[in-house]
Amino acid sequence: MSADAKKTLVFIPFPIISHLVSAVDTAKLLADRDDRLSITILIMKRTLDNKISSYTTKSPHPRINFLHLQENKSLASGSMGDKNWALLFAESHRDLARDVVVEMMESQKGRLAGFVLDMFCTPMIDVANELGAPAYIFVPSGSAFLGLLLHLQSLRDDHGKNMKEYEGSDVEISIPTYVHPVPAKVWPVKVFDNETGILECARRYRETRGIIVNTFLEFEPHAISSLSADARIPPVYPVGPLIQGGGEETDENKRKREEIIAWLDKQPHSSVVFLCFGTRGIFHGEQVKEIATALEQSGVRFLWSLRKPPPEGTIEFPGEYENPEQVLPEGFLRNTTGIGKVIGWAPQMAVLSHPAVGGFVSHCGWNSTLESVWCGVPIAAWPLFAEQQTNAFQLVKEFEMAIEIKIDYRKGSGVIVRAGTIENAIRQLMDPENKIRLKVKEVHDKTRAALVEGGSSYNFLGRLLENIMDNTH
What burial class does residue 329 get, using C-beta atoms within 10 Å of its C-beta: 0-12 exposed, 13-18 middle, 19+ buried?
Answer: middle
Are the C-beta atoms of residues 309 and 318 closer than 8 Å to each other? yes
- List, in order, residues 6 or more apart from 325 with CB less than 8 Å away: 332, 333
Q: H/E element holding 38?
A: strand 37-43
Are the C-beta atoms of residues 209 and 175 closer than 8 Å to each other? no
Are the C-beta atoms of residues 392 and 381 closer than 8 Å to each other? yes
What burial class does residue 316 get, using C-beta atoms within 10 Å of its C-beta: 0-12 exposed, 13-18 middle, 19+ buried?
Answer: exposed
> Does the annotation count 158 as an active-site position?
no
Q: H/E element holding 370?
A: helix 366-375
Is beta strand 64-68 parallel, antiparallel or unpaired with respect to 37-43? parallel
φ/ψ of residue 41, rounded to 5: -105, 115
Catalytic residue among 19, 93, 354, 363: 19
DSSP conformational letter for 393: H
Torsion, Cα 448 453 459 465, to 10 degrees, reads: 110
- DSSP letters, 277-317, are --TT----HHHHHHHHHHHHHH--EEEEE--BPPPTT--PP
DSSP conformational letter for 320: -
* CA–CA separation, 361 and 273 (whole Å): 7
- Which sign does the torsion angle of CA 247, 251, 252, 255 carry? positive
* CA–CA separation, 471 and 473 (whole Å): 6
* CA–CA separation, 275 and 384 (whole Å): 14
Chain centroid to CA 256: how far? 24
Q: Which of 402, 401, 405 is nearest to 416 (CA)?
A: 405
> Does the annotation count 19 as an active-site position?
yes
Neighbours of 453 (CB within 10 A): 7
Are the C-beta atoms of residues 275 and 351 closer than 8 Å to each other? no
- Which sign does the torsion angle of CA 311, 317, 318, 322 carry? negative
What burial class does residue 255 get, using C-beta atoms within 10 Å of its C-beta: 0-12 exposed, 13-18 middle, 19+ buried?
Answer: exposed
Q: Which of 161, 203, 237 is nearest to 462 (CA)?
A: 237
Catalytic residue among 93, 118, 151, 363: 118
What residues are labeled active site?
19, 118
